[in-house]
Amino acid sequence: MAEAPACSANTAMLETQVLASGLIIRQDFTEAVRPVFFQTEYEEFLYATHGGTLFLVVFRGRVYGVTCAHVFGDFPHGRLFVAQVKRAQKGSLPGHVTGLAYPSSPRDDAVGTDVTDLCLIQFSDDTSPDFFRSPYVIEERTVATSQAGHVLCVAGVLKDKTSIVLPDIDIGYCRLEFQDAGPCESDPFLRRAEAQFDHPAVTSVTGISGSPVYDQTAHALCGMVIRGGMTGSRCTIYYLDVFDIVRFLDSVSRGAESAYYTKPAPWPVSREPAT
């Protein structure tokens, strides 16, 4: 599987992190990334996609997929294929998807925002974190809200670099470097990041919706790309703050029907996304 040229070298990004329990782990968030593929009924076109990225996380001992709802398009949700490993080979097993969860029924300042584009993929009870080999462990010391000026890395799948022509499947994995530009003025759930791509191979970022965003300055996961685009060689992305992703993971893991909370400064926002 091909890895598209990016602003940073295609080398391992293993980070050493100390969990709240004192346990020391090493993890590379880029290894948790998967393309959003769907299995079809056609033998000659076994897999299809509208583009999009998902990433695998472990939260409170369970594994989940995280992505954007809009990347599903018109594909049946039941045909989602989440490969066991990042560089899947013929015969690779998929994870057993049992359901999807979305924030809904937003209240107060959450109405009309992109928080409802968040989607959690749920797997069967017997799907252990080890099944996917390299999901990203989420807990208080492995995530952080970014700050303006911090250096960010986005690991995703570029649609125009991805080709599904069986028996060959080439996935356009990429790692793109951005700089955090602060909160989005029109949506309290989003932050903005900017980049200048002078590499001629990067002309479009279609497909990175659902990609994890890693704060290289803080050494922690800081969010998920909702949307982005390019004007010439200039790229802008808008990404969902990890604070809200963790809140939703907490609600889903507890089986809560709703969650109402106030977002810390600079955005004093209250909302109730039902699960």
Rounded Cα–Cα distance for residues 167 and 191 (Å): 40
- The residue among 33, 1, 25, 48 whose CA lies nearest residue 153 is 33
- The residue among 168, 207, 152, 238 whose CA lies nearest residue 4 is 207
Q: Determine the pLDDT at residue 266.
A: 54
Q: Determine the pLDDT at residue 265.
A: 60
- Whether residue 228 contacts residue 248, with contact meaning beta carbons closer than 8 Å, is answered with no
DSSP 157-171: E-GGG-EEETTEEE-
- The residue among 163, 249, 151, 248 whose CA lies nearest residue 207 is 163
| Residue written as token pair 């980070």 | 15
Q: Determine the pLDDT at residue 33.
A: 97
User: For residue 257, what is the DSSP state?
Assistant: S
Q: Determine the pLDDT at residue 91.
A: 66
The tens place of each residue's pLDDT in the chain, 275 residues long, gives 334 345 444 567 899 999 999 999 999 999 999 999 988 877 667 788 888 999 999 999 999 999 999 999 989 888 999 989 887 666 678 899 999 999 988 888 888 999 999 999 999 999 999 999 899 999 999 999 999 999 999 999 999 888 776 666 788 999 999 999 999 988 999 999 999 988 767 889 999 999 999 999 999 999 999 999 999 999 999 999 999 999 999 999 999 888 888 776 654 343 444 44
Pairing state between β 45-48 and 62-68? unpaired
User: For residue 203, what is the DSSP state?
Assistant: -
Angle at 220 between CA 216 and CA 225, to 5 degrees: 80
The model scores a pTM over 0.75: yes
